[in-house]
Amino acid sequence: MSHAVLTADGFLTFGSDRYPACFGRGGIRREKEEGDGATPVGFLPLRRVLYRADRLAAPRTALPLEPIGPRDGWCDDSRDPAYNRMVRLPYGGRHEELWRQDAVYDVIGILGWNDSPVVPDRGSAIFLHLTTPDRAPTAGCIALGLDHLRDVLAKGLTGIEVHG
């Protein structure tokens, strides 16, 4: 089995293992829109993994893996040609920084949402990343604890089926 299942009860199931997971503060929705804080329903393939090499060793994964740096960002401006794509900072369009002060983006799984093709306002930056210390809901991403995220990546996770 290479994909996991995320359900509204807050667990990600991968094979026979269940991991506590956080999802969007807007819930899990079939109709995802930019800025709604929701995690989209559907199959989200895991495209590649990014990580902070200055903080962690590279996670074990069969997916493409690359370190991030202080100039890495992600465009969330639906009017910008780079919408829902990685960008180099400084960047003129609205974006978020991937090199954060907190640990949330120390490991980032880029999930395949609204990326082939990109549709304006359908949502951007849907990632698999680390939870906050208080396990707060995300802005639409899926979050796991560091040990759990390392575990699913090492076991061959290639996507997440999100059920609402």
**Residue 129 known to be catalytic:** yes
Beta-bridge mates of residue 11? 7, 20
Report the pLDDT value the prediction gives residue 1, as an integer from 0 to 100.
58
Rg (CA), the chain: 15
Report the pLDDT value the prediction gives residue 164, as an integer from 0 to 100.
84
Which amino acid makes up residue 11? F
Q: What is the pTM of this model?
A: 0.97
* Residue of 75, 95, 129, 148 with catalytic role: 129
Report the pLDDT value the prediction gives residue 52, as an integer from 0 to 100.
98
* Residue of 22, 75, 95, 141 with catalytic role: 141
Could you tell me the fold of the domain covering 3-162?
A: L,D-transpeptidase catalytic domain-like (2.40.440)
Tell me the pLDDT of the chain (164 aa) as tens digits. Answer: 599 999 999 999 999 999 999 999 999 999 999 999 999 999 999 999 999 999 999 999 999 999 999 999 999 999 999 999 999 999 999 999 999 999 999 999 999 999 999 999 999 999 999 999 999 999 999 999 999 999 999 999 999 999 98
All residues at 6 or more sequence positions from 38 whose CB lies less than 8 Å from its CB, including other chains: 24, 26, 27, 28, 29, 32, 123, 140
Domain ranges of the chain: 3-162
The string of pLDDT tens digits covering residues 72-115 is: 999 999 999 999 999 999 999 999 999 999 999 999 999 999 99
